[in-house]
Amino acid sequence: MTGPRPDPSHTDRWLSVIAATVVAGVIITTVTLWVTAPHGPASFSVVTATTEQRVEVKVRNTGGTVATDVVVRATFDDGTETDQTISWLSPGETSSLDFYAPNPDTTVEVTIISYVPDN
Amino acid sequence: MATWDDGVGRDMIRAGCGAALFGVPLLYTMELWWTGTGSSPAFSLGLLAAVLVAATVIDRTAGFRFAPERSWSSSLVDGVEVTGICIAVAAVVLVVIGEITPQTNVRESMSKVIAQLVPLVIGASIANEIFGNGSATPAEPGTGSGSGARQVGSLLGGAFVGAIVVALAIAPTDEVTIIAGRASLAHLLALIAVSLVASHGIVFSADFAGSSDLRRQRHLDELAHTALAYIVALIAAGVMLALYGRLTGVSVLTSWSRVIALGFPAAIGAAAGRLAL
């Protein structure tokens, strides 16, 4: 830079303080969230809600790693099996799937058949 | 012999910033990552040669360096130089977003970097034509003649609009989800650092047109403005991700990681917005 610089304005002074504070806040928030978050392999919680033949399945990744190609299998009481795949499930993310039972008021068992951990 | 004080360093910074400015949407494109992954060494070498030729030809009319006269030999030297700068920019960004890791072999890493070069080299070469002011010496710093509220309003408004313009097209894409999903703590902190450095370089170090109005009395104040613009970029990134439903139903860390991931292109857009507005 050329020539002497004039004294900083009052605005610049408090902007410097605010800027330093918020950037430090961003870094501290990032580190804190990272340290306190779960970091284990992907794990899943499954909740089902059946309305006549429609079975709504909500799959949540409760682990700390992204899971891809999560294969969800619905097994109905007559032995019918149906698979659906969730392509991507981030930690804490919930994905909803709809299955349709062959008969009204049938019972269903939902299981996670496989997934690919994304490291 | 040209020295850093003659503007050589500023030319190189301008080229790097131009590359980031124009290349960031493609740096966040998984199809280009895959192009690098599946490329043969022969294809990569051919692409690198084509990039060198293109950089040399472009330099004849729109080089990254201000020059009253250009010869083919000087354009060839500048072409090699700008290609090298773009290789560095691509490598840094690909490492920071987790596309190149210690587990990636050297051939694949080089292929991924080379695959990114076309948009970066074009951006680095034409940045002068679009944003350059051609001053041989750095502009005088602003004296802060406007009211404080107006200055802050201009800073925040320009940064927000620029962030939206550049990052809006990236926000709904799966690339942000992927980058955030695989990011380690080191990646997130590096993304923050690279965003701040790129943003500061574009506004205060590259000597683009409009930067003289943004210069402050002290470098510390310029750093403060960069930091504030980055916060605005993060807010804009959060708003865009929320609008596209990318922050719904995920953990707080995942949401935060996505904001930081989109914050890089948003920060570059914020810097461009401050220059333009």
ipTM for the whole complex: 0.78
pLDDT score of B67 more than 70? no
For residues A111 and B56, what is the distance between their CA atoms, to the nearest angstrom?
Answer: 59
pLDDT of residue B144: 47
Strand segments, DSSP code E, in A1-119 are 44-51, 54-61, 66-76, 81-89, 94-100, 108-118
Q: Does A2 touch chain B (CB under 8 A)?
A: yes
Domain count, chain B: 2
Within a domain: B177: yes
Residue B41: how many CB atoms within 10 A of its CB?
10
pLDDT of residue A59: 94
Residue A45 tokens read as 């919680």
- With CA atoms as reference, the chain B residue closest to A12 would be B221
Q: Which of B131, B156, B180 is the endpoint of a domain?
A: B131
**Pairwise pLDDT comparison (B135 vs B186), residue with the higher score:** B186
* Residue range of the domain that includes B10: 4-131
Within a domain: A1: no
Within a domain: A92: yes
For residues B228 and A93, what is the distance between their CA atoms, to the nearest angstrom?
Answer: 31
**Pairwise pLDDT comparison (A55 vs B8), residue with the higher score:** A55
| φ/ψ (deg, to 5) at B65 | -110, 135
- Residue A59 and residue A31 share a domain: no
> What sign has the CA pseudo-torsion A106, A107, A110, A113?
negative
Q: Chain B residues with CB inside 8 Å of A66's CB?
A: 181-182
**Pairwise pLDDT comparison (B8 vs B83), residue with the higher score:** B83
pLDDT of residue B138: 47
- Residue B262 and residue B208 share a domain: yes
**Pairwise pLDDT comparison (A1 vs A6), residue with the higher score:** A6
Q: Chain A residues with CB inside 8 Å of B174's CB?
A: 88
- Residue A67 and residue A28 share a domain: no
pLDDT of residue B7: 61
What is the 8-class DSSP label of residue B204?
Answer: I
Within a domain: B136: no
Within a domain: A3: no
Q: Which band of pLDDT confidence, cut at 50, 70 and 90, is reported for residue B1?
A: very low
pLDDT score of B4 more than 60? no
pLDDT of residue A1: 44
Q: Chain B residues with CB inside 8 Å of A119's CB?
A: 182
> What is the per-residue pLDDT across B174-200, written as a single tens digit (0 to 9) for each?
999 999 988 999 999 999 999 999 998
pLDDT of residue A63: 87
Q: Compute CA distances B196 → A70, B185, B188, whole Å.
A: 37, 17, 13
pLDDT of residue A86: 93
pLDDT of residue A112: 93
- Cβ–Cβ of B224/A66 closer than 8 Å? no
- Residue B110 and residue B18 share a domain: yes
- Residue A86 and residue A32 share a domain: no
Position B71, amino acid: S
Within a domain: B194: yes
> What sign has the CA pseudo-torsion B224, B225, B228, B229?
negative
Within a domain: A4: no
Within a domain: B85: yes
- Residue B167 and residue B118 share a domain: no
- Residue B162 and residue B100 share a domain: no
Size of interface A-B (CB pairs under 8 A): 113
pLDDT of residue B110: 92
- Residue A49 and residue A21 share a domain: no
Q: Does A37 touch chain B (CB under 8 A)?
A: yes
- Residue A75 and residue A32 share a domain: no
Domain count, chain A: 2
Highest mean pLDDT among A42-46, B122-126, B133-137, B206-210: A42-46
- Residue A49 and residue A29 share a domain: no
> What is the per-residue pLDDT across B153-172, written as a single tens digit (0 to 9) for each?
777 888 999 999 999 999 99
- Residue B239 and residue B154 share a domain: yes
pLDDT of residue B210: 65
- Residue B103 and residue B220 share a domain: no
Within a domain: B13: yes
Residue B247 tokens read as 């922050």
> What is the per-residue pLDDT across A34-92, written as a single tens digit (0 to 9) for each?
999 888 888 999 998 888 888 999 999 988 888 999 999 999 888 889 999 999 898 88
Strand segments, DSSP code E, in B104-254 are none
- Residue A88 and residue A30 share a domain: no
- Residue A25 and residue A65 share a domain: no
* Residue range of the domain that includes A78: 44-118
- Cβ–Cβ of B218/A30 closer than 8 Å? no
